[in-house]
Every structure is written in structure tokens, then in C-alpha cells.
Amino acid sequence: MPSVNASNISKIFNEENNSEPIQALTDVSLHIDDNEFVSIIGPSGCGKSTFLMMIAGLETPTKGKVTLDGEVIDGPNGSQSIVFQEYLLFPWKTVKQNIEFGPVLKHESRSSFRHTCESLMELVGLTEFANHYPHELSGGMKQRVAIARALACKPKVLLMDEPFGSLDALTREMLQTELQNIWLKTRCMVLFVTHSISEAIFLADRVVVMSKRPGSIKKIVPIDLERPRTRDMHTGAAFKEYEQILKEAVWEEVTA
């Protein structure tokens, strides 16, 4: 079963060049199981993106190691997909071509990926926009394409770095529900970085709170709310309690 394991990760930037060394992470250990949705919150600059980049194989730890299925991650290998806040779609490709990009790059045969990509397009509600270009889409639609494109590669782990950060509040809430529905169907491992505490709770099985830089894990809160989660849960006592606990934890770090 796929799992990600980070053990005693530290990261220092600028060790080799002449600028001031920056310690981004210190002694981070985290195990994520298959089918798990984990949200990460923490103050700005505490190393959340750096941690995600290590799982993506785009940064290497200075100390410690990160493994995927027991193998040390030493580069992107097709098991990881990332969705960023900026949509990063190819402007010259249509919705369909953007979604098919990963499988095409992997030289999969069209017959093998056609069905997957069509289902994904349907899952994110973009079938009728298949031949549209990114500039013809709203922000929410672009991010739906980015999610479908990430899933088209059938990743073992989906890494999401503040994916809904630039959307308006209403679109953001809609996409949270859609992402949950997609995840309930695909159940791939997700690591989701966000600044929004309620978003972190709404989506996750566990919320990880990171300390201020150099980032370490301050607290892990399992979210015991039944699925599918619904909008009205936001006002429930349990949700409010999680919010309070997490707000306190982040606030301590921001004001430390």
C-alpha cells in the first residue's frame, strides 16, 4: 500500500553559496497512509511548501529522508502530482489537451488514457468545455482543470499547495466540496497546504500544525467528522471545537 514517510527532515537553504543560510525545516517526521487526506497549516514562511517540494522530489532534505512506498524520493517519478495556487495550465492547449498532457508525456496509448481523461473531465464538470482554452475559463474552472490534469497521471500522492488561495469565497467553498467528492471517488493520498483553518478541517482526516520557521510539527489533530462532510457542519459544535484548538495553536506560533 502506498505511503509517504518523512523521518527527521531538516532543510537549510543557501548552505553552499555565500548568502545567509536559512533553516526552513527542523526535525520533521510524518507518516501518511494511502487513502489519507492530510491538511497542513502554519505561519507564512514556516516551510510548508518546502516540505511538499521534498515529497514531490523537487527539493532534497539536508538531513533525514523522505520515502514513498519505502523508496527514498530522489526526484519526480510520476508517482507525485502537484496543484499550485497559480493554475499553471498551458495557455495554448485546450482543456482536454491540458488534462491529457501527463499521460501523453508518459507515452501512454490514447486508448488507455482516453477513458480516464473523459471521466475526469466529467468528474470536474468540464465536459462541455473540453475544447475551450484556459483564457476562456473562470478561475474556478481553471483550478478544476489543474486538479483533473494532476489526477490524470494516476499519482500515488497528490500534493496541493494553497490551491484555492486565489479564488473568491463562494467558488472556494464549491471547490472544497468538489475536491472532497473527487477524493471520495479516487481516495488517493492527499497533502493539502492551506491558510484557511476551516478548509483544513473540512477536507482532512488529520490536520498538521507547523511551528514558525524553522518549521517543525507542533500538533496533529485527527478530524473525526463523518463523510461526506457538508456545509452545515461548519456551524456544528465539533467543527467549532476543532477550529478553536487549531486557531490557538497557529496563533501561538504567529505571535511567538
Ligand X SMILES: Nc1ncnc2c1ncn2[C@@H]1O[C@H](COP(=O)(O)OP(=O)(O)O)[C@@H](O)[C@H]1O
Choosing among ligand X, Mg ion, none, which partner's interface includes residue 18 (Cβ < 5 to 8 Å by kind)? none
Q: Least Å distance between CB 92 and Mg ion? A: 28
For ligand X, the closer CB: 44 or 112: 44
Choosing among ligand X, Mg ion, none, which partner's interface includes residue 13 (Cβ < 5 to 8 Å by kind)? ligand X
For ligand X, the closer CB: 8 or 14: 14
Q: Which three cell numbers stand for residue 95?
A: 482543456
Sign of CA dihedral 12, 14, 18, 20: negative
Sheet containing 217-222: give its strands across: 80-83, 157-161, 189-193, 37-41, 206-210, 217-222
Choosing among ligand X, Mg ion, none, which partner's interface includes residue 94 (Cβ < 5 to 8 Å by kind)? none
* Separation in Å, CA 36 to CA 31, 98, 144, 156, 204: 10, 27, 21, 11, 8
Q: Least Å distance between CB 44 and Mg ion? A: 7
Choosing among Mg ion, ligand X, none, which partner's interface includes residue 133 (Cβ < 5 to 8 Å by kind)? none
Q: Which residues bind ligand X (CB under 6 A)?
A: 13-14, 22, 24, 44-50, 213
For Mg ion, the closer CB: 94 or 211: 211
Q: Which residues bind Mg ion (CB under 5 A)?
A: 49
For ligand X, the closer CB: 153 or 204: 204
For ligand X, the closer CB: 1 or 256: 256
Q: Least Å distance between CB 189 and Mg ion? A: 20
Choosing among Mg ion, ligand X, none, which partner's interface includes residue 176 (Cβ < 5 to 8 Å by kind)? none
For Mg ion, the closer CB: 103 or 214: 214
Q: Least Å distance between CB 191 and ligand X? A: 12
Q: Least Å distance between CB 210 and ligand X? A: 7
Q: Least Å distance between CB 86 and Mg ion? A: 12
DSSP string, 183-248: HHHH--EEEEE-S-HHHHHHH-SEEEEEPSSSB-EEEEEE----SS--GGGGGSHHHHHHHHHHHH
Sign of CA dihedral 214, 219, 225, 226: positive
User: What HEC string does 84-126 produce?
Assistant: CCCCCCCCCCCHHHHHHHHHHHCCCCHHHHHHHHHHHHHHCCC
Bond preceding residue 214 cis, omega within 30 of 0: yes
Q: Least Å distance between CB 89 and Mg ion? A: 20
For ligand X, the closer CB: 96 or 213: 213
Cell 514556516 found at = 46
Choosing among Mg ion, ligand X, none, which partner's interface includes residue 17 (Cβ < 5 to 8 Å by kind)? none
Cβ atoms of residues 173 and 212 within 8 Å: no
> Comparing C-alpha atoms, which of 45, 55, 39 is closest to residue 155?
55
